[in-house]
A and B are shown apart, each in its own frame.
Chain A
Amino acid sequence: MTGVGQEGTGVAEALPAQARRSLRELISVRRYGLQAGTVAMALALWILFVVGASGTWLHFDIYTALMSTVPLTGIIALSLTLVVIAREIDLSFGSVMAVGAWVFIATGEPVLGLLAGLGAGLGVGLLNGIIVVRFGIPSLVATIGTWFFWAGIVLYGTGGNGAGTEFASGFVRNLLTGRIGGYVPAEFPWMIGIGIVLWVLLNRHRFGAHVYLVGDNEQSARMMGVRTARVRIAVFALVGLSAALAGIMSTLESNYFWPTVGSGAMLPTVAAVFLGGTSIFGGRGTILGTVVGAFVIGAIEPGIVSVGWTGLLTQVIYGAVIVVALVMQALVMRRVQH
């Protein structure tokens, strides 16, 4: 493999250790500036909530609640991060949640239902990818189309009727939505676990390297032999799979299948990705940023209610948060490209 030379010590290694470290710090501030901003914003918000409603925010219950609600959008946001890095978008995941949950319910059998539901989500995600990549339709438009299509299919198929989840009372329920030690909702370790897997995939695997390259410059990646079509289809498939899992979790958590499950998932999920610093222009983004972003977004509604404002303000704050996040992105982009 080595064309020009074999192993050896380069310039950077010859530098004094101190200079090397400060160099590295300088680079990481530029690189992780957005994520640092998100974390700072999360802390500021948390302090605001603690000061404004210490009764709520110094008690464990609110965190238990967040650990069961945030992963429902967070798990999807993690996969969506890869889609956005690849300079695509998927808005259909809300109805894919319903597809996954419906298939799960329809089988009437927990383990088989889980596998079938996940399989359905994966299939719908693949279809999204194929529509976007093979037919060259902009993903924003294509996934708005599939969003309505699959939501409609579920409504039509169920006749608009919900169903109970009594059939899934044992293993699968505990696995996905049990309370570990009586406190920690299983959704939370699921989200963290999926986050770790996706982090490794994105940062330490060839697939993730190709996701960044495709989002940065698809043509360059193609010229250098990256199979860009496969990469783009795969990220859509991942979102489909995650959405189905979230839909099934949501159904088990509420003990009832609503055919409209996931209909409110779009805004907070997309907001979590952008707030986490993933660039709308592609080629840039982190898993950690999305995790923090998902918790900030998830904390906004209970936060403003607990400090005594009206919940009707939620959307105002969502909107403001998204705009501020995007402006921060644009500012950091400009500094990096000087």
Chain B
Amino acid sequence: MATTTNLLELESISKSFDGVRALDHVNLTVGSNEIVGLLGDNGAGKSTLIKIITGFHAPDHGAITWKGRRLEHVTVQHARELGIETVYQERALADQQSLWRNIFMGRERTRRLGLLDLPAMYAETRKLMHEFLRFTSQAITPESFVGSMSGGERQGVAIARALYFEAELVILDEPTMGLSVTETRKTLDFVREIKAAGKACIFIDHNIFNVHEVADRVVLIDRGRIAGEFARAEITVHELIEAMRRVAETGAIEGSAA
């Protein structure tokens, strides 16, 4: 049944914590150049789902398929090697360190004896600044401190880092949280860059407008179950809000509440 273009397929994934069911037979697919927006209330199971994909939690039940191959016992390291990168809410940056040190954090380019290959890291950082981050200010160099950048720029650094290390699927966990309107715009532009770079993305956000704006497909999660899926082209943001309201009330979209 699965089409060959799917990058990731989750089939009937279930997960319980101390007898509380966090995910209940969840099916989810992500296409190879698709942005999937994940919407759901707090506690709906978004984080648990993400942590299963990144190998942080093992599912109790169900199958994970990556590029048509069934995965068993995914670990964080394994998921990363496959090309699944997560940009966490906290962004995992070191504020007092330079841009290049942040980009290459934990994966420094080295020559023999573990000596740093500074010219290569500088050149790659400049290239990322130029082509992906599109930093217009000439005051920003590979040596600039990340802590002196704006929230949106910092989000860009975290996303650029994920993409640089050959991520094929970038998972963004609430990337616009705490950002101003302009910073949010910038972050949404970065999500579009992921698409333009030919990669896939799972985009989690509380803000329906943000998700609707950049996602190719929107998936609603409610109380551990997939409550609905919409192609962005087929639903307006107002219809989406209405669908979410119905889901919140009845747990289903085609609910017979009315």
Contact = CB atoms under 8 A, between A and B. Distances in A.
B106 A224 contact: yes
A310 interface: no
A298 B160 CA distance: 47
Contacts of A19: 138
Contacts of B125: 10
A4 B93 contact: no
A226 B105 contact: yes
Interface in B146-173: 147-148, 160, 163-167
Contact of A12 (B104, B106, B141, B145): B141
A216 B135 CA distance: 24
Interface in A5-46: 5, 7-13, 15, 19, 23-24, 27, 31
A279 to B, nearest CB: 8
Most chain A beta carbons < 10 A, residue from B104, B107, B130, B142: B130
A48 B93 CA distance: 44
A224 B126 contact: no
Given A204-B118, A206-B110, A12 B142 contact: yes
Contacts of A213: 94, 97, 101, 105-106
Contact of B92 (A200, A210, A220, A283): A220
B235 interface: no
A4 B116 contact: no
B97 A4 contact: no
Interface residues of B, number: 51
B80 to A, nearest CB: 8
Interface string B94-115: 1111000100111111100111
A205 B163 CA distance: 24
A8 B123 contact: yes
Nearest to B167: A3
A14 B107 CA distance: 28
A312 interface: no
B145 A23 contact: no
B106 A226 contact: yes
B128 interface: yes
Given A2-B164, A216-B96, 19 more contacts: A3-B166, A9-B126, A10-B125, A11-B126, A12-B126, A12-B141, A15-B138, A207-B114, A209-B108, A209-B116, A212-B97, A217-B93, A219-B90, A220-B90, A221-B106, A225-B106, A283-B95, A336-B147, A337-B148
23 contacts: A3-B164, A4-B127, A4-B131, A5-B124, A5-B131, A7-B123, A7-B127, A8-B126, A10-B125, A11-B129, A205-B114, A205-B116, A209-B101, A209-B104, A209-B108, A212-B94, A213-B94, A219-B90, A221-B94, A221-B105, A226-B105, A336-B96, A337-B95
Interface of A: 1-5, 7-13, 15, 19, 23-24, 27, 31, 200, 204-207, 209-210, 212-213, 216-217, 219-221, 223-226, 279, 283-284, 336-338
Q: Which 3 A-B pairs have the closest CB atoms?
A: A10-B126, A224-B106, A225-B106
Interface of B: 77, 80, 88, 90-97, 101, 104-110, 113-116, 118, 123-132, 135, 138-139, 141-145, 147-148, 160, 163-167, 197
